[in-house]
Amino acid sequence: MNIEDQLQQLTGDLPHGLTEGVALGTGLAEGYDFYESALGQVIVTFNPEGVSSVDIADGFEDRYLERLGRVLIRAEAPTAWRRHIPEAIERGTPGKLPVDLRSVTAFQEKVLHTTATIPKGEVRPYGWVAYEVESPRAVRAVGSAVARNPIPLIIPCHRVVRSDGHIGNYSLGGPHNKIDLLEHEGAMPRLLEDLAARHIRVRGNPADRIYCLPTCSRIRGASELIDFRSTAAAEQAGYVACEFCRPHG
Amino acid sequence: MNDLANALATDLDKTFPTVVETMGRQLFWGLRRICGDHQEAEDLTQETFIRAYRALDGYEPERIRAMDLRPWLWTIAMNLGRNHLRDQSRRPTYVEMTDAGTEDPELMDGAAWDRRLSVLNDHQRKAVVLRHVVGLGIVEISDITGRPEGTVKADVHRGLARLRETIEEET
């Protein structure tokens, strides 16, 4: 055989994983991997832009297809931010982890970014989020944005609750998971329900005459607390709003 | 070939995997013979396709329709510098689920040919591989490498001669 013919045969098959690697690198497919959380094992999906969804394993693929509709490939997250995923799940905020919120509207994205600022161990009413995104009347729109959060646990939508005492629904397996999570984080969901049942919205510390939302870390260690049914009532009693939890609305 | 460009122009996302399936084999093995390293060739092939996709995503359909995809992909591949590795840390990596061997079956005595090809200088090796392993024409290779046609012809000619000498020395 002459040399040209031999050179022509110096090829083989397409290497394993090349098709998948290209699909993942272009974003035509998303990768998924398993992580531990306070709710047990969860599935995290990601692409070069960041983490795109978090879900529980049961029924995951159907929900994913309905919502994001891309091809899924078992993969490892990009090395540049892989280590931030367990940390973000544990702390309940993205931190340095990039999140891909291209599947939601600009308003919903704003709501989710605000939600991500709620500290661990605390909760905020839907109205508070509406106020923070400068749409104080859009409480219902905030509600549906939070319900559609594609990245629960990392964007802590479980920290947004109804002001009437109901903990509210939760996309990640139902309301019992929301209560479990809040208990795990020390946000005292039972106390919140009890306060709401008594129509108490804010609590003031007579020592510094500052009033806060019930889970604010500022009033955690206070020896005595005065309960108020509204921010107006607290103001009337000569109390000033806390600058950390901003108990408005 | 033109059917593929037409399909790409109509539906990029749906057609692109077919481009990888159709052209990936040749691109990978060409790069594999040029650089002599399996993993590096795989990285370069993947990077070429990712950059190609991004470029196509920004092109008008008419422009895609008029494209000759194979030499275009090779132009991208030949222009990839070492800095492409920087981007890899920003991408998910595929996890092999089967026990399939990582080394592909190589026809002929692949390792011996890697050694022989390594004897050639870079220009000769590229020219010989693109001409005879990949099967591109002299004009296409000239476009891809940016070297005049006459020079490419000479590179191929001298490269083949050098390979013949090397094989003779082996026996």
- Taking one residue from A and the other from B, the number of pairs with CB-CB distance under 8 angstroms is 132
Q: List, as ranges, residues 55-74 from A with C-beta within 8 Å of B.
A: 73-74
Q: What's domain B107-171's architecture?
A: Orthogonal Bundle (1.10)
Nearest to B95 among A13, A28, A75 (CB): A75
The CB-based long-range contact list for A211-215 (8 Å cut-off, 24+ gap) reads A211/A239, A211/A240, A211/A241, A211/A242, A211/A247, A212/A242, A212/A244, A212/A245, A212/A247, A213/A122, A213/A123, A213/A124, A213/A125, A213/A128, A213/A242, A213/A245, A213/A247, A215/A121, A215/A122, A215/A123, A215/A187, A215/A188, A215/A245
pLDDT for A191: 87
- Overall pTM surpassing 0.80 (yes/no): yes
CA–chain centroid gap for A73, Å, is 23
In this prediction, the residues of chain B whose per-residue pLDDT falls under 70 are 1, 81-86, 97-108
In chain A, which segments carry CATH 3.30.160.70?
20-89
Q: What is the pLDDT tens value at each position of chain A, 249 positions in all?
A: 789 999 998 888 888 889 999 999 999 999 999 999 999 999 999 999 999 999 998 888 888 888 777 889 999 999 999 999 999 999 999 999 999 999 999 999 999 999 999 999 999 999 999 999 999 999 999 999 999 999 999 999 999 998 776 777 788 888 889 999 999 999 888 888 899 889 999 999 999 999 999 999 999 889 999 999 999 999 999 999 999 999 985
Q: Do A23 and B17 touch (CB under 8 A)?
A: yes
pLDDT for B102: 45
The domain B1-105 is placed in CATH, from the list 1.10.1740.10, 3.30.2350.10, 3.40.630.30, 1.10.3720.10, at: 1.10.1740.10
pLDDT for B82: 54
Which of the residues of A are catalytic? 157
Superfamily of domain A20-89: Methylated DNA-protein cysteine methyltransferase domain (3.30.160.70)
Q: List, as ranges, residues 4-33 from A with C-beta within 8 Å of B.
A: 4, 6-26, 28, 30-31, 33
In chain B, which segments carry CATH 1.10.10.10?
107-171
Question: By the 8 A CB rule, do A229 and A207 touch?
Answer: no
CB atoms within 10 A of CB A93: 20
CA distance to partner chain B, nearest, from residue A182 (Å)? 32
CA distances from B120 to A92, A176, B155 (A): 57, 69, 10
